Amino acid sequence: MLANKRILLIIGGGIAAFKSLDLIRRLRERGAAVTPVLTRAATEFVTPLSVSALAGEKVYSALFDLTDEAEMGHIQLSRVADLVVVAPATADLMAKMAQGHADDLASTLLLATDTPVLIAPAMNVRMWEHPATQRNLATLRGDGVRVCGPNDGDMACGEFGPGRMSEPLEIVAAIEAALSDGPLTGKRILVTSGPTHEPIDPVRYIANRSSGAQGTAIAEALRDLGADVVFVTGPAAVARPAGVTVVEVETAQQMHDAVFAALPADAAVFAAAVADWRMAQAQNSKIKKTAGGLPVLQFAENPDILAAVAQLEDGRPPLVVGFAAETDDVEANATAKRARKSCDWIVANDVSPETGIMGGAENAVTLISDSGAEVWPRMGKDAVAAELARRIAQTLS
Ligand code: C5P
């Protein structure tokens, strides 16, 4: 799939740079050519010699190298590739990109390029979560930059949380998705998926039986048609889709914030089974079982994410799709829900236990739109996803 593709790989100065050596190998195994560029800081973590040996090509690293300018000017260098990949994308590189700085070769190439850009951020968890980095991330997304990762996990600095660079094969999947040419190429689509967990106390929570299977299949189907997918998922049972930007959340409120941070989008598909209620006050310590007394749980309403996005006056995605999991009067309830939430389509399904749909591999849906209700035959969740993605592509084209 990557045969005859050229990747301009900008390696930033972070401890994750060692993974970029493996990334080069994986890309070349798949037939891609890699033109490597090292920032000055990157040369502290990996040597130009090892990068060039693995890439089988010359390494570019300093801006004012006259020989290079004679061989290939930096403007030209920025345009020879099918895709520019920044891995690791450090907090500093992201800030430079967001601000349009051009004070070294890497940032100059990023400003001069007219090819799509994919970044794989890697940094300390606090740096990642800092509002400045999150602002830069939103700016970059708004500029059309694709983002792969970061993952949660143990970090080289001894802390735990989001900030680890994606694994080389995850970046390869994101590169393949970015280079795939389909009817949704250039479209950015937001998908929510999975259940949410609403804490009662530090050990207990309220949840539901959503597996995340349908939302995951939709994200994959949209990706396969070339879309740049942002996948906001609660704690789902199924594996996360490859080649999409995954944002992991736990509660409805976090999902709401992640969805708004991911806008703008050309379409948004709300497949998540969001908890309607959370605890009015989650307890900070475990509620004790006391003789004779039952705890009284008081609820508060969660934000309705779908309705909030569908009713946006400014920046509403042109196509907003909601789901309706019903146990009776499916069509009537879903039609009313479509009007109440102001979404364009509702994908309605019957989740009564006897259907085996919740957590199962199949789905029987009715698509409710302006043109009325259309009953689809019962089919695999993958097939439902493929058909929905095809309809989305038709509508957005
Ligand atoms: O109202 P109900 O939960 O049945 O609506 C289902 C649809 O609304 C789904 O698309 C679901 O993802 C979305 N939803 C949401 N935020 C909520 C509740 C539901 O986005 N708080």
Q: If you measure from the C-alpha of residue 162 to the centroid of ligand 1, how many angstroms do you get, rounded to a whole number?
A: 27
- Whether 128 and 274 map to the same domain: the answer is no
Asked if residue 66 has pLDDT above 60, the reply is: no
Count of beta carbons in the 10 Å neighbourhood of residue 372: 10
Q: Could you give the percent of the chain with pLDDT greater than 90?
A: 77
The pLDDT assigned to 68 comes to 63
Tell me which H or E stretch contains 396.
Answer: helix 381-396
Query: Is-contact 287 297, C-beta < 8 A?
Result: no
Summarize pLDDT for 332-389 with one digit per residue, the tens: 999 999 999 999 999 998 887 777 777 677 888 999 999 999 999 989 989 999 999 9
- Whether 210 and 271 map to the same domain: the answer is yes
- Whether 40 and 126 map to the same domain: the answer is yes
CB within 8 A of 139, min separation 6: which ones?
A: 98
Could you give the CA distance from residue 215 to residue 375 in angstroms, rounded to a whole number? 19
Could you give the CA distance from residue 160 to residue 186 in angstroms, rounded to a whole number? 34
- Whether 17 and 67 map to the same domain: the answer is yes
The pLDDT assigned to 64 comes to 62
Atom of ligand 1 nearest to the CA of 347: 10
Rounded mean pLDDT, 132-142 = 92
Which residue among 146, 179, 212 closes a domain?
A: 179
- Whether 254 and 342 map to the same domain: the answer is yes
* Domain CATH code at residue 97: 3.40.50.1950
- Whether 286 and 345 map to the same domain: the answer is yes
Range of the domain at 265: 183-397
Summarize pLDDT for 334-349 with one digit per residue, the tens: 999 999 999 999 999 8
Asked if residue 97 has pLDDT above 90, the reply is: yes
The pLDDT assigned to 266 comes to 97
Amino acid at 29: E
- Whether 336 and 372 map to the same domain: the answer is yes
Summarize pLDDT for 184-212 with one digit per residue, the tens: 998 999 999 999 999 999 999 999 988 99
- Whether 270 and 385 map to the same domain: the answer is yes
Mutation choice for ligand 1 from 196, 259, 274, CB with most ligand atoms inside 8 A: 274
CB within 8 A of 301, min separation 6: which ones?
A: 276, 277
Residue 157 annotated in active site: yes
Q: How do beta strands 205-206 and 228-233 pair?
A: unpaired
The pLDDT assigned to 272 comes to 97
The pLDDT assigned to 116 comes to 93
Asked if residue 1 has pLDDT above 90, the reply is: no
The pLDDT assigned to 65 comes to 65
Tell me which H or E stretch contains 18.
Answer: helix 17-29
Asked if residue 77 has pLDDT above 90, the reply is: no
Q: How many domains does the chain have?
A: 2
Query: Is-contact 176 1, C-beta < 8 A?
Result: yes
The pLDDT assigned to 293 comes to 84
Which residue among 161, 179, 197 closes a domain?
A: 179
- Whether 7 and 86 map to the same domain: the answer is yes
Asked if residue 232 has pLDDT above 70, the reply is: yes
Token pair listed for 56:
């089988």
Which residue among 151, 179, 207 closes a domain?
A: 179
The three-state secondary structure class of 379 is strand
Asked if residue 391 has pLDDT above 90, the reply is: yes
The pLDDT assigned to 71 comes to 63
Summarize pLDDT for 269-327 with one digit per residue, the tens: 999 999 999 999 999 999 988 877 888 899 999 999 999 999 999 999 999 999 998 88
| pLDDT grade for 154, boundaries at 50, 70 and 90 | confident
- Whether 187 and 162 map to the same domain: the answer is no
Arithmetic mean of pLDDT over the chain: 92
Rounded mean pLDDT, 205-230 = 94
Q: What is the CB < 6 Å shell around ligand 1?
A: 192, 252, 270, 272, 274, 302-306, 322-324, 337
Q: If you measure from the C-alpha of residue 270 to the centroid of ligand 1, how many angstroms do you get, rounded to a whole number?
A: 7
Q: If you measure from the C-alpha of residue 37 to the centroid of ligand 1, how many angstroms do you get, rounded to a whole number?
A: 45
Atom of ligand 1 nearest to the CA of 325: 4
The pLDDT assigned to 145 comes to 92
Q: If you measure from the C-alpha of residue 322 to the centroid of ligand 1, how many angstroms do you get, rounded to a whole number?
A: 7
**Residue whose entry in the numeric block shows the structure tokens 């990762």:** 149
Number of H helices, E strands in the chain: 14, 21
The pLDDT assigned to 187 comes to 94
- Whether 105 and 168 map to the same domain: the answer is yes
Mutation choice for ligand 1 from 214, 323, 333, 349, CB with most ligand atoms inside 8 A: 323
| pLDDT grade for 157, boundaries at 50, 70 and 90 | confident
The pLDDT assigned to 336 comes to 95
The three-state secondary structure class of 178 is helix
The pLDDT assigned to 73 comes to 76
- On the 0-12 / 13-18 / 19+ scale of CB atoms within 10 A, 257 is middle
Which of these is catalytic: 156, 157, 237, 375?
157
Rounded mean pLDDT, 97-114 = 94
* Domain CATH code at residue 241: 3.40.50.10300
Q: If you measure from the C-alpha of residue 309 to the centroid of ligand 1, how many angstroms do you get, rounded to a whole number?
A: 11
- Whether 284 and 325 map to the same domain: the answer is yes
**Residue whose entry in the numeric block shows the structure tokens 């005859």:** 4
Could you give the CA distance from residue 348 to residue 368 in angstroms, rounded to a whole number? 7
